[in-house]
Amino acid sequence: MRKSEVSDLIRSGKKLLAFILPTLILLGCNSKPKTEKLIIFHAGSLSVPFKQIAEEFERIHPNVKVQLEAAGSRRCARKITDLNKPCDIMASADYKVIDNLLIPHYTNWNLKFATNEMVIVFNKHLKQANKINSKNWPNILLNEKVNYGRSDSNSDPCGYRTILVNKLAGLYFKRSGLADSILNKDKEYIRPKEVDLLALLESQTIDYAFIYKSIAIQHQLDYIKLPDSINLKRSDLTEFYKSVDVQVSGKKPGETITHIGEPMIYGITQIKNPPNPKLAEEFLKFFFVDSVGIKAMKECGQPPVLTSKTKTYQELPHYLKSFALN
């Protein structure tokens, strides 16, 4: 073969390669599985267990990205109702947020799944921390040299539970006006959700904070336990808890909702017409049926309350009915 013919073949081969190579690259790119996204709005106090659950779910489903958005539970609901933000699943620190703000227009069902209790966390470097206990904490917090923080009652269940705790304390200690005295103090340290208070503690801006026991455990914080008649933990003390209430903002401007004291219970639901309904179902099965979520909740100090009564039992997906009572 002449030298010129060899050169022609090489040029032809290069042209063919230049034509074929982009096609092969395109085919190779298209062969990769498309990443799916699951959007979950959840209470700030669920950040640690839900991160663990999401990572395990992604490990088993490598083409899935779980997008977790933490906020106060009421703010989570407002993102759905007022801002029309896309969401597949919402988990609330108070099941009543779902009942009051999302049912029936944004979801049909609500499943109770975990509990918690209120505690007071403190900065371990504080001298008064050595003296505070379950009996003298009101006097400590009322000290003008002490600053304490709490979350916003219109954004976060922990916020209105803090108000309920202080009202119950007034009854328990038989001190009229105690709740007003504490709640009218240190309002500049109110934050949107309970986990926002951690930075204030870390910086020693505040000395104490009302928070969930699970948060204290997860972040290795020092805390004092409150009497069971105050901490909203015990179901057998429901009647005493019900002796106090708190007003928070309602569905519409100017409306209010009354929250009566009761044991704290978390709720979870799937939003109507979610971006990825099939994936939402897979996650809920992973959480409950496979027990991965239940195990994580236990480990993070938020004991499951399965099975509990729900007014929406008939609306529950069939695979979740065994985790509730009619």
CATH, residue 321: 3.40.190.10
Share of the chain above pLDDT 90, in %: 82
Provide the pLDDT for residue 32.
62
pLDDT at 1 over 70: no
- Check whether residue 146 and residue 93 sit in a common domain: no
SS3 298: helix
- Check whether residue 107 and residue 140 sit in a common domain: no
Provide the pLDDT for residue 6.
43
- Check whether residue 129 and residue 224 sit in a common domain: yes
- Check whether residue 131 and residue 245 sit in a common domain: yes
- At 174, which amino acid appears? K
Q: What is the pLDDT of residues 87-96, one digit of tens each?
A: 999 999 999 9
Provide the pLDDT for residue 181.
98
The pLDDT of 164-187, averaged and rounded, is 98
What are the residue ranges of helices labelled H in 134-262?
137-142, 157-172, 178-183, 197-202, 213-218, 238-241
- Check whether residue 108 and residue 130 sit in a common domain: no
CA dihedral 78, 81, 82, 87 (to 10 degrees): 80
Domain-embedded: residue 274 = yes
- Check whether residue 153 and residue 180 sit in a common domain: yes
Structural domains of the chain, count: 2
Q: What is the pLDDT of residues 31-59, one digit of tens each?
A: 566 889 999 999 999 999 999 999 999 99
Domain-embedded: residue 258 = no
- R_g of the chain, CA atoms, integer Å: 26
Give dist(CA 140, CA 136) in Å, integer: 7
- Check whether residue 240 and residue 275 sit in a common domain: no
Provide the pLDDT for residue 31.
55
- Check whether residue 138 and residue 238 sit in a common domain: yes
Burial class (CB in 10 A: 0-12, 13-18, 19+), 76: buried
Residue finishing a domain among 221, 249, 277:
249
Give dist(CA 44, CA 294) in Å, integer: 18
Domain-embedded: residue 283 = yes
**Residue 288, beta-bridge partner list:** none
* Unique residue bearing structure tokens 């496979």: 290
**Mean pLDDT of all residues in the chain?**
91
Give dist(CA 151, CA 248) in Å, integer: 13
- Check whether residue 130 and residue 230 sit in a common domain: yes
Domain-embedded: residue 6 = no
Q: Which of 319, 277, 273 is nearest to 38 (CA)?
A: 277
- At 141, which amino acid appears? L
Give dist(CA 282, CA 289) in Å, integer: 10
Give dist(CA 259, CA 248) in Å, integer: 7
- Check whether residue 203 and residue 136 sit in a common domain: yes
What domain range includes position 219?
Answer: 118-249
Domain-embedded: residue 55 = yes
Provide the pLDDT for residue 188.
98
Give dist(CA 24, CA 29) in Å, integer: 9
- Check whether residue 235 and residue 129 sit in a common domain: yes
- Check whether residue 43 and residue 103 sit in a common domain: yes
Cβ–Cβ under 8 Å, residues 74 and 286:
no
Residue finishing a domain among 249, 276, 301:
249
Domain-embedded: residue 21 = no
pLDDT at 271 over 60: yes
Domain-embedded: residue 9 = no
pLDDT band at 10 (very low <50, low <70, confident <90, very high): very low
Residue finishing a domain among 249, 281, 305:
249
The pLDDT of 306-312, averaged and rounded, is 92
Domain-embedded: residue 16 = no
